[in-house]
Amino acid sequence: MHFLLRTIGAILRRFRRNESGGPTVEFVLLFTPFIVLPVTGFEMGLLMTRHAMLERGLDMAIREVRLNTGEEISETDMKRMICNAAGILPECMTNVRLEMRTLNMRHVGNQSTNSIPRSASCTNLNQPFLPARNFENGAANQMMIVRACGVFKPMLIPGVGVAYQLNQGPQGRYRLVATSAFVMEPL
């Protein structure tokens, strides 16, 4: 037993004195943060760009719906308008889910029948053909709330940096939600 401890001690002393792997250890320790920071910055920029484009697409579609109050609009048509205006959202027609409902301003509050749910209903990629949670057209001079929720895959490394911190749902995707309100123009 004493011989074994002395042998292990000699090996460890020789290992400690050997400096041939010093630069490799420094490289491994410093390289990782210097790669994670740019990847995180790029991912955050892409996330913010996607969110801004989802907001823009929703605003452009709402403008079209608000000014054409005589026409009924379907969820598919509204989603197509959002995706055409958004531009860079990948697989937009399958990744975005809409919710549009009327809101009576005289009856608001948590106990009201027209209260808006806190969480947005996002696309379930396992069941991509689910209908919108609540999609109804409004009449002239009615207050409308529209919410679009999209699920998107992180661009570069899903489990590193900001992609690790995102509230990732199924299949490693994050949610982006855009909400807007408008009043239908009178005829």
Please give the distance of CA 63 from its chain centroid, rounded to a whole number: 24
Which residue carries 């892409």 as its tokens?
46
Tens of pLDDT, residues 71-125: 788 888 999 999 999 888 888 888 888 888 887 777 666 655 666 767 777 766 6
CB 183 within 8 A of CB 145: no
Tens of pLDDT, residues 152-178: 888 766 666 666 666 566 667 788 899
pTM over 0.85: no
Burial class (CB in 10 A: 0-12, 13-18, 19+), 153: middle
Task: Name the least confident of 11-25, 80-94, 118-132, 142-156.
Answer: 118-132
State which amino acid sits at residue 123.
Answer: T
Please state, in angstroms and rounded to a whole number, the distance separating the CA atoms of residues 170 and 108. 34
CB 132 within 8 A of CB 153: no
